[in-house]
């Protein structure tokens, strides 16, 4: 997909990125399929320290965790000998090793089927690490599931 004229959205993401230099900041991007969410994220994160995770809906929890571990190793964020046994280990590692980076989860709502407890793990980490400079981008295309994930009164990532 070709990236066309999303200057307003890019400016808003740049502002969020600026905020994330001082403390944890999260952004949710959602909309219908094929409207350019992933291209917007790619364009925004180009030439910035970032790591991208796609949440496949057809992978097992263990297979996806292993893939993400490999991605952290390929990006030299964790040592090749490190083994991430649980999703909690993975999230801990993000907060420990990704300071100053953009951490991107595309199709994040798929965790509802793969590992639903991850939302609570993130919520606890967000609560405990508000002063860590990271920009977390969560993107999804199944609008109803994204809205339920992020707008539900008991859902993670939302401050009152």
Taking only the tens place, the pLDDT of each residue in 45-82 is 999 999 999 999 899 999 999 999 999 999 999 999 99
Residues 6+ apart with CB under 8 A from 69: 78, 82, 83, 84, 90
Asked whether residue 5 is domain-assigned, the answer is no
Domain membership of residue 19 (yes or no) is: yes
CA separation, residue 2 to residues 24, 37, 41, 131, 144 (Å):
31, 12, 13, 36, 26
pLDDT tens by residue, 92-146: 999 999 999 999 999 998 998 899 999 999 999 999 999 999 999 999 876 666 6
Residue at 113 is within a domain? yes
Q: How far apart are the first and last CA of the chain?
A: 37
Predicted confidence at residue 160, as pLDDT, reads: 39
Asked if the structure places residue 159 within a domain, the reply is no
Cα separation, 154 vs 61, in Å, equals 23
CATH number of the domain within which 80 lies:
3.40.50.300
Whether the CB-CB separation of 134 and 95 falls below 8 Å is answered with yes
Cβ neighbour number for residue 91 with a 10 Å cutoff: 18
């Amino acid at each position: 997909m070709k990236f066309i004229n999303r200057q307003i959205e890019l400016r808003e993401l740049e502002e969020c990125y600026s905020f994330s230099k001082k403390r944890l900041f999260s952004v949710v991007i959602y909309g219908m399929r094929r409207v350019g969410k992933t291209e917007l994220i790619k364009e925004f994160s180009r030439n910035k320290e970032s790591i991208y995770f796609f949440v496949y809906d057809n992978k097992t929890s263990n297979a996806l965790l292993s893939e993400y571990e490999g991605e952290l190793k390929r990006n030299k964020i964790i040592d090749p000998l490190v083994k991430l046994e649980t999703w909690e280990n993975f999230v801990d590692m993000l907060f420990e090793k990704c300071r100053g980076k953009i951490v991107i989860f595309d199709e994040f709502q798929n965790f509802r089927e793969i590992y639903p407890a991850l939302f609570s793990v993130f919520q606890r980490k967000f609560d405990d690490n508000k002063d860590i400079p990271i920009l977390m981008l969560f993107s999804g295309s199944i609008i109803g599931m994204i809205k339920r994930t992020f707008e539900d009164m008991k859902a993670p990532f939302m401050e009152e």
